[in-house]
């Protein structure tokens, strides 16, 4: 039942759908949890270890996990676990209310910026965006929206 999950988007066949999570590989799950919860204000929804899969996973996100998407942080815990992971080629987008204030906090915390707060390049757009790197080099886009 789509009401049970607050899923308002439907397919042509009438099935309710939503994005549940996206996965990011991480080299140090504790470091990544701290980054996403302390600096970006997400909640740690749960954490689990799978000896069978040789992984540890944590889901972080905003709001109620039953209706809001999360980021699944996954660390390989096998004996051949890499000390570094290859960053994804995409990015995660996060809406913020005051991008300059958040970027100041992130800068003081030593976060690497790919691009400081910059007006959107579309003609007439008033949104501001910045790109930062998480501890594993994954690109995180911060967006302060002013366009309707």
Hey, which residues are catalytic here? 141
Structure tokens at 76: 């390989």
Q: Token match 């039953």: residue?
A: 66
* 103 in Cβ contact with 90 (< 8 Å): no
Q: How many CA atoms lie within 13 A of 77 on its CB side?
A: 14
List of residues 6+ apart from 56 with CB closer than 8 A: 29, 47, 48, 49, 50, 74, 75, 77
């Amino acid at each position: 039942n789509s009401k049970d999950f607050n899923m308002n988007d439907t397919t042509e066949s009438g099935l309710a759908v939503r994005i549940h999570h996206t996965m990011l590989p991480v080299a140090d799950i504790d470091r990544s949890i701290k980054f996403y919860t302390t600096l970006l204000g997400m909640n740690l929804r749960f954490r689990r270890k799978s000896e069978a899969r040789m992984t540890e996973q944590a889901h972080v996100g905003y709001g109620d996990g039953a209706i809001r998407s999360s980021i699944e942080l996954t660390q390989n815990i096998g004996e051949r676990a890499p000390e570094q992971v290859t960053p994804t080629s995409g990015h995660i987008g996060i809406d913020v209310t005051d991008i300059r204030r958040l970027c100041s906090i992130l800068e003081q915390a030593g976060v690497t910026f790919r691009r400081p707060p910059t007006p959107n390049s579309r003609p007439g757009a008033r949104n501001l965006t910045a790109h930062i790197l998480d501890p594993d080099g994954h690109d995180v886009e911060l967006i302060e929206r002013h366009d309707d």
